[in-house]
Amino acid sequence: MSLFEVNESEKFDGISLIVPVYNEALSIAPFCDRVMKVLAGVCNFEIVFVNDGSRDDTERTIESIMQGDMPFPVTLVSLSRNFGKEAALASGMQHARGNAVIPMDVDLQDPPELIPEMIEKWNAGAKIVNARRIDRSEDGFFKRTSAKIFYYIYNTMTEYPIPQNVGDYRLLDRVVIESILTIGERSRFNKGIFNWVGYETSEVTFSRPHRDIGSSKWSCWKLIKLALDGIFTSSTLPLRVWTYIGLTMGCLSVIYGLVILFTTLIFGRDVPGYASTVLLILTFGALNMFALGVMGEYIGRIYEEVRQRPLYIIRSISRTR
């Protein structure tokens, strides 16, 4: 098979698996083997690897697999640096040619065995088939609890709640992908976007297995950033809520003022307490800072949007056929 430059007008009659990879050299071959075993004879498929600025042998490993005799087409999109999984997925969607697309992790924590069931539901008319985790015990207490808190906050705030425990692993019909590709936002939160576009949705369930090879590429900081992106890109409630907080605080201040006025008139001069004064200053100081911080989050995102920088930069693209 020879590698050649991609012609975007080509279409592929089958399913595109989009696989973002970041320092995953050891996971590539097991992933290809397992996918091949499970999907052989089930459907036509291609794999679109997005190398998200890996610093290990990931790119060379994929290239050597592409030079071998794979029974399915492989595309390798290499980004110029690590742009993060959300951006990597977006570039994968741009280069997938299939009738349906499935974003998958390369570490086999998204078991390919679910794909035939997803395809069944897709053939029955669903445009999106979510894979919902019914067991997250492998995730550890911290990740599980923080995910629960995040879903609660997110779903209370936004008009378009996202289903709990559904990751990026899902089947998306070509019409859904075309709709997603019209969204040009820079702060990406794919789980919110997948949901926002609408369409008939169905689901399959699974237990998330352990990661056998390598380790999670999500640091605590990256997860917090993703959660904040999710909330701030999907709702303006944090911005608007300050009107109500300010109004309530204003009313309370008037009531407190009246209480001081009457106690002074009735009982004589009130000696103001040092502790309560300091407490009030600190509380209002903190509230002001917090409100400013929330505005900063939105202004920062507005700045990102108006700068109009691309979401990712592609260093090279190659395809086997």
Q: Is 16 in the site for Mg ion (CB under 5 A)?
A: no
Q: Is 105 in the site for ligand UDP (CB under 6 A)?
A: yes
Angle CA(109)–CA(320)–CA(38) in degrees, nearest 5? 35
Q: Extract the runs of DSSP E, i.e. beta strands, from the chain.
A: 15-21, 45-51, 74-79, 100-103, 128-135, 166-173, 201-207, 314-319
Stretch that binds ligand UDP, among 84-92, 118-126, 226-234, 247-255 (CB under 6 A): 84-92
Stretch that binds Mg ion, among 32-40, 53-61, 105-113, 292-300 (CB under 5 A): 105-113
When the beta carbons of 136 and 211 are compared against Mg ion, the nearer one is 211
Annotate each residue in 16-55 with x if it binds ligand UDP (CB under 6 A) or - if it does not, as one string.
Answer: ----xxx-x---------------------------x---
User: Beta strand pairing status for 166-173 and 128-135?
Assistant: antiparallel
Annotate each residue in 187-226 with x if it binds ligand UDP (CB under 6 A) or - if it does not, as one string.
Answer: ------------------------x----xxx--------
When the beta carbons of 161 and 214 are compared against Mg ion, the nearer one is 214
| Residue pointed to by tokens 């929330």 | 294
Q: Is 107 in the site for Mg ion (CB under 5 A)?
A: yes
Number of neighbouring beta carbons within 10 Å of residue 76: 23
Q: 3-state class of 205 per DSSP?
A: strand
Cβ 208 to Mg ion shortest distance, Å: 9
Read off the tokens for 67: 């030079």
- β-bridge mates for residue 273, sequence order: none
Number of neighbouring beta carbons within 10 Å of residue 167: 18
Q: 3-state class of 5 per DSSP?
A: coil
Q: Footprint of ligand UDP on this chain (CB under 6 A)?
A: 20-22, 24, 52, 82, 84-85, 88, 105-107, 109, 211, 216-218
Q: Footprint of Mg ion on this chain (CB under 5 A)?
A: 105, 107, 109, 211
